Structure 1
Amino acid sequence: MITLLNKNKLFLYCLVVIISSSFFASLIQTSFGKVDVKLMNLKTPDGQNLVYDLYKPSIATENDKQPFIVVVPGFQRSKEALSNIAIELSRRGYVVALIDPYAQGMSSSSLSRLAATTQGYGMFALVDYAYAENFSFIDINKIGSTGHSMGGNAAIRGADYFGKEAIRSGKKSKLDSVYISGYVLTLRENILRDSKSNMGVSYALYDEGAFRNDLQGWDAGNMKIAPESLRTVNSVLPKDKKVTEVELGKYYGERSNNTLRVIFNEELLHPFQPYNKEATKNQLDYFDKVFGAPISINSNNQIWQYKELFTLINMIVSLLMLIPIAKLFLSLNFYKDIVKDIPASLPEQTSKSKMIFWSVFFLSALIACISFIPMVDVAKILFYESANRELTWFFPQRMNNSVMLWAAFNGSIGLVIFFLSYYFFGRHHGVNTNSWGLQINKVEFFKTIMLGLSIFICYYLILYFVYFLFHVDYRFWFMGVRIFQPEMLLVLVMYFPLFFIFFFSNSLRVNGAMRFKNQSEWKSRLIAGFANSLGLMMIIIIQYVTFAWTGTVFWTTNWLSVNLLFGIVPMMFILPYFNRIFFQLTGRVYLGPIVTCLIFIMILSTNTVVYLPL
């Protein structure tokens, strides 16, 4: 083994970089050892599991209790997606619980279809648990919650839920203060009237989901005049002091009687709001106002960006490490017979073949573009249970179902176009099917599958090792490679076949139709990257050009599906690079799609909602 590693030093280099960057990311996450971060699991009274990271500053003790804040990520986000907020709050002395919302991350699925309204995605149970003095180091009179998007809705619902409870009991609300980011739909009078919590609201001026608000166009996200923000502020003001325009950043009401209100309106898009210095500053200032920061640190002094940098390095290097891992296994005698000579390239392009190539290029991109949103709608019909947030074993991933249908459809269309272009043009102009790399016998195919599984297992074993040592994974903002619970392997098996159509189709086209004689390799790979992602890029371009022009996004009902593409497009762009590299390692088109489908689908599956009945 030592000899094998010495021959494959790139693997060791990648491993050293990942461990080093994970160590530094862990230092940031723990505020250089001043905060203890632990993975916790709460068994809720209704039989569910709530998984969360507990950030406990060293100053929080039984004799020096500190405020407690529950952080709730938004739709399709796991707890790691908002670790930046937890880092900044905990380094200022707050005890923080960063939760995996129900049906996301490691938490169990909710038994309720109204998990935000009735459970706060698990936040309600954790607030009750904390208020019952199960944590000896927190001040139960200073419990708060913050969340982005649907997590913000959970915070609103929490203010209402615990407010009603306080009215019934005649006591102070268990939830002293909430901070609502990226969500104003439920700031309605019937909810605000029972709130007994201080309330901060932060809404992106250019929020793509603002079309659902009371106003339309550019006014919809303008919190100076939005009815939602006016209701929030005026709900605590006497009649003679009610306002017709909100002054952003101004505190209304009184902290002492839990009527404090403040509105922020950062010039951002919805998905990027949690990862902005100004938005983070506003949130830190709010909690300093309502609780008083135990450790005084200027709100502009933020270090979370460095953790994002180190985990981004992790993500990039971990994907690059797939190549030396594959080489390491291929050097073993068991796998050596699947390594074949790289087939000859396609003939050099002529003017006519270039015309055919670029016609197919743009036709495929157009089909990819126009078929995505219809597949979103088809998925709602075919997978009714998950589309309606019902627990099911039948394709339980509401958002990924549409991506899977799109992938299967476009993969199939891609294969049809590939073979038709060969039949009508390629075979008459010197294209040899041997250049496709399809030839393989049963034993070699079985070993190729075994190799793909071995690479997948090795990749995730390294991730688990890193997580065990440092409690960090590979990620940047809302895109991440994270650990998973065992049942996700069943989900992977369920989704793999239809997704594989696309991944195999891409490998065949990249290596059998985009590899020309006398064409530089970097240019060939770059063209393949754009060929595989241009259609989805066009959807994003259409969505945001329309938004910039009119103040309302082009696709409204399915705007969250378009937002999903921010994480998918980078995957689609780099996919051909890996399919080409694995082709060059084996001389065949099979290993690439097996490895990339396993890993990319697990990445997608662990970064979305999963309505499994567990």
Structure 2
Amino acid sequence: MLVAVSGVGASLVQSDAGSVEIEDLRWETPTGKTMSALLYVPESATPDNPAPGVVASHGWFNNREMQDLNYVELARRGFVVMSIDMYGHGDSDWLVPGEEAVAGTGMYDAVKLMHDLPYVDPQEIGVTGHSNGARAANFSVLEDNEAAEPLIAAVLLVDNDPIYKNPETGEWVNVYGARDTGLIQAKYDEFFFRTYDENGVVLTAPRDYVSTDNAQSFLHFGADPSSFTDEREAGVYYDEAIDGTDSSRVIYSLDQTHPWSHTSATAAGDLVEFFDTVFESPNPIDAANQVWQWKVFFNTLGLIGFGIFLVAFARALVTTKMFAAARLPAPDAQPLAGRAAKLWFWGGLAVSAVVSAVTYVWLSQQAFTGLVPAFIPQTPPYFIGFWAAVNGVFTLLVLLAAWWFTMRGSNSGLAARGLWQGWRPFGAGVAVALLTVVAAFGLVFVVDYFFQTDFRLWVLAVRAFTPDKIGLALIVLPLFVIYFVANSVAVNVFNRVTIGGREWINTALLAFFNALGPLVLVIAQYVTFAASGHLIPGFGGIFSIWLFPVLVILPVAAIVSRKIYRETSNPYIGGLIMAAAVAMVSASNTLTYVV
């Protein structure tokens, strides 16, 4: 029911109750690659009444649906919007290393297609992108500058620096020419908007960006800062005639982080205001009037429904004759008895949380210096999987030590609690896990086919995928199996006890400790950032962002495995389900290079 409500509701929002036609595009571009995009065409856009067009792009390690707040709001205002999967992302072809600038990582190929659409005004085509999607916009502008007929009329960069200087001469430059150009800048951006000395030492923090020479040159249309004395401000449009054409520049400087723009009403409003200012909306609606939050609500319902389905379907399967071997009576949870048991329980949780945090930071410092083998096409899933596997092995060592010092030589009851019931129950459990994951993603494809939506909340997304993603998921699956199976055994066989006479408190506690290490890292990173304007030295911003979905997945893993275990007394089903689901989600929501 939640999945159905999610699909219908999200579809109604993104189609503006049917007044916007949505097309899922796949085409071979002039670059020779296959590109994927979502095209939003308002009913008011016709060959007789062409509308302004906007090509929008996500950032690195994301996909086209991450631009949902922007395409929803622009389309309902009458813009034709094409939200692309950059090359190497989503359903587009893999990216060849070193070809990031070719056709603007795909954005300029999309601009060419947009230009040829009969219901798009060819004189009013804009580009916008977040993070490396903004870099793609910069690449596209450079390529457009060399075209016999320039196609791009407006540029809005989001959370990435404009081009300030000629890289060959070091001179200040206006590469945007007469194009209307804007910038949405995060004052707490983890990557951009800093200035450096000749040794690479940071001189200014992102929150001070607007007063820097870089920002002032941008607002002065590429002029050398030594050539002017006035200081321009954020939120103000500045106009100048460039080659006889009126042009504008604006910077929106927001109190937010780099990934926040994906779920920011302020950023969405600024984007709408920019394109309304430079093109004029065919259907003017106040920038503060936004409905994309309802799409987020319905997408989130689907995400919750996906998680519930994993539990419900697995529990239903084990009640059938075919998979009955996977279901054994689960003993009641017992209170912790004895000082040694309590010491191992609480000590094991605390030490595991510390190891989780410490290993993450240490591995992050090795991630781009040899940790990820050159033959791995996707860095983030492998990195997270490797870190997970390290913690899975540590968990197994802690469990072994706990057994050795507190249970060895006694009737520990581990067998009765499902640690090992034989090959037949184990094999049946593996089959249940496999069928459950296949069925769950089947729902995702059904919703994608009928409603062109998926299940997501900010940086956590469960989406339909192309067949190549299955092979990519299989590469990292063993790493996730090590962690999630070890975690399920720990949660259900060793640490399933009552606290205050209630098992649910134990479940909640274990869910909390699952995520405690990453939670401490995220809090430390952003408290430091807010206080100083700088990140923790040695802890790169991308790695704290990669922890955002982990903060949801790890507690959910404890709950899912516990719910299934209580019905089956089999700790392997829940662990395998989570491993397969996380591997598939990771492989279908990141950057893929040709190796």
The correspondence for 2:30, drawn from 22, 35, 45, is 45
In the TM superposition, what whole-angstrom CA distance separates every residue of 1:363-400 from its partner, at most 9, and x where no partner exists? 111111110132234443446665xxxxxxx3311112
Q: Which moved more, 1:595-604 or 1:186-195?
A: 186-195
Structure 2: unaligned runs, 5 residues or longer: none
The correspondence for 1:272, drawn from 260, 273, 286, is 260
Paired residues in the alignment total 583
Q: 1:248: which partner in 2?
A: 234
1:220 & 1:342 partners in 2: Cα distance? 55
Aligned pairs for 1:316-465 within 5 A: 316-343=304-331, 345=333, 348-382=336-370, 394-427=375-408, 431-465=412-446
Letter of the aligned partner of 1:491 in structure 2?
L
Q: 1:548 to 1:430 in 2, by over 3 A?
A: farther
8 Å contact from structure 2 (residues 385, 480) kept in 1: yes
> Post-superposition shift, 1:602?
1.0
The correspondence for 1:537, drawn from 506, 519, 526, is 519
1:601 is the counterpart of 2:586? no
Q: 1:185 to 1:352 in 2, by over 3 A?
A: farther
Q: 1:512 to 1:210 in 2, by over 3 A?
A: same
Secondary structure, aligned partner of 1:142: strand
Q: 1:586: which partner in 2?
A: 568
8 Å contact from structure 2 (residues 54, 80) kept in 1: yes
1:487 is the counterpart of 2:464? no
Q: Which moved more, 1:321-330 or 1:156-165?
A: 156-165
1:477 & 1:187 partners in 2: Cα distance? 31
Secondary structure, aligned partner of 2:400: helix
Q: 1:442 to 1:512 in 2, by over 3 A?
A: closer
Q: Which moved more, 1:309-318 or 1:508-517?
A: 508-517
8 Å contact from structure 2 (residues 430, 576) kept in 1: yes
8 Å contact from structure 1 (residues 18, 318) kept in 2: yes
Q: Which moved more, 1:145-154 or 1:227-236?
A: 227-236
1:517 & 1:250 partners in 2: Cα distance? 60
The correspondence for 1:501, drawn from 468, 482, 496, is 482
Q: 2:102: which partner in 1?
A: 118
Q: 1:554 to 1:416 in 2, by over 3 A?
A: same
8 Å contact from structure 1 (residues 181, 202) kept in 2: yes
8 Å contact from structure 2 (residues 40, 80) kept in 1: yes
> Post-superposition shift, 1:357?
1.9
In terms of fraction of residues, the more strand-rich structure is: 2
8 Å contact from structure 2 (residues 195, 203) kept in 1: no
RMSD: 2.3
Q: Which moved more, 1:184-193 or 1:484-493?
A: 184-193
Q: 1:429 to 1:440 in 2, by over 3 A?
A: closer
> Post-superposition shift, 1:428?
7.0
8 Å contact from structure 2 (residues 190, 542) kept in 1: no
Q: 2:132: which partner in 1?
A: 150
In the TM superposition, what whole-angstrom CA distance separates every residue of 1:205-225 from its partner, at most 9, and x where no partner exists? 122224754484764333320
Secondary structure, aligned partner of 2:23: strand
Q: Which moved more, 1:309-318 or 1:541-550?
A: 541-550
Q: 1:462 to 1:240 in 2, by over 3 A?
A: closer
Letter of the aligned partner of 1:95 in structure 2?
V
Percent same amino acid among aligned pairs?
25
Letter of the aligned partner of 1:597 in structure 2?
A
Q: 1:160: which partner in 2?
A: 142
1:113 & 1:467 partners in 2: Cα distance? 33
2:203 & 2:513 partners in 1: Cα distance? 34
1:559 is the counterpart of 2:541? yes
Letter of the aligned partner of 1:570 in structure 2?
V
8 Å contact from structure 2 (residues 480, 582) kept in 1: no
Q: 1:13: which partner in 2?
A: none
> Post-superposition shift, 1:139?
0.9
1:19 is the counterpart of 2:4? yes
Q: 1:130: which partner in 2?
A: 114
Structure 1: unaligned runs, 5 residues or longer: 1-15, 387-393
Q: 1:311 to 1:128 in 2, by over 3 A?
A: same
Letter of the aligned partner of 1:177 in structure 2?
A
Q: 2:294: which partner in 1?
A: 306
The correspondence for 1:178, drawn from 111, 131, 155, is 155
Question: Taking structure 1 as the reference length, what is the TM-score of the superposition?
Answer: 0.90
Letter of the aligned partner of 2:174 in structure 1?
R
Aligned pairs for 1:291-302 within 5 A: 291-302=279-290
8 Å contact from structure 1 (residues 92, 294) kept in 2: yes
> Post-superposition shift, 1:282?
1.1
1:204 is the counterpart of 2:181? no
Q: Which moved more, 1:395-404 or 1:374-383?
A: 374-383
2:413 & 2:163 partners in 1: Cα distance? 62
Letter of the aligned partner of 1:123 in structure 2?
M
Letter of the aligned partner of 1:71 in structure 2?
A
Q: 1:359 to 1:442 in 2, by over 3 A?
A: closer
Q: 1:7: which partner in 2?
A: none
In terms of fraction of residues, the more helix-rich structure is: 1
2:311 & 2:224 partners in 1: Cα distance? 66
In the TM superposition, what whole-angstrom CA distance separates every residue of 1:265-319 from its partner, at most 9, and x where no partner exists? 0111111123211211111111111111111111111110001011111101221
Q: Which moved more, 1:420-429 or 1:597-606?
A: 420-429
Letter of the aligned partner of 2:251 in structure 1?
I
Q: 1:151 to 1:555 in 2, by over 3 A?
A: farther
1:346 & 1:122 partners in 2: Cα distance? 58
Letter of the aligned partner of 1:599 in structure 2?
A
2:58 & 2:189 partners in 1: Cα distance? 17
Secondary structure, aligned partner of 2:181: strand
Q: 2:208: which partner in 1?
A: 222
> Post-superposition shift, 1:429?
7.8
> Post-superposition shift, 1:411?
0.3
Letter of the aligned partner of 2:212 in structure 1?
A
> Post-superposition shift, 1:332?
1.8
Secondary structure, aligned partner of 1:224: helix
Q: 1:5: which partner in 2?
A: none
Question: Taking structure 2 as the reference length, what is the TM-score of the superposition?
Answer: 0.93
> Post-superposition shift, 1:451?
1.2
1:243 & 1:277 partners in 2: Cα distance? 34
1:98 & 1:193 partners in 2: Cα distance? 27
Letter of the aligned partner of 1:331 in structure 2?
T
Aligned pairs for 1:23-34 within 5 A: 23-34=8-19
Q: 1:177 to 1:375 in 2, by over 3 A?
A: same
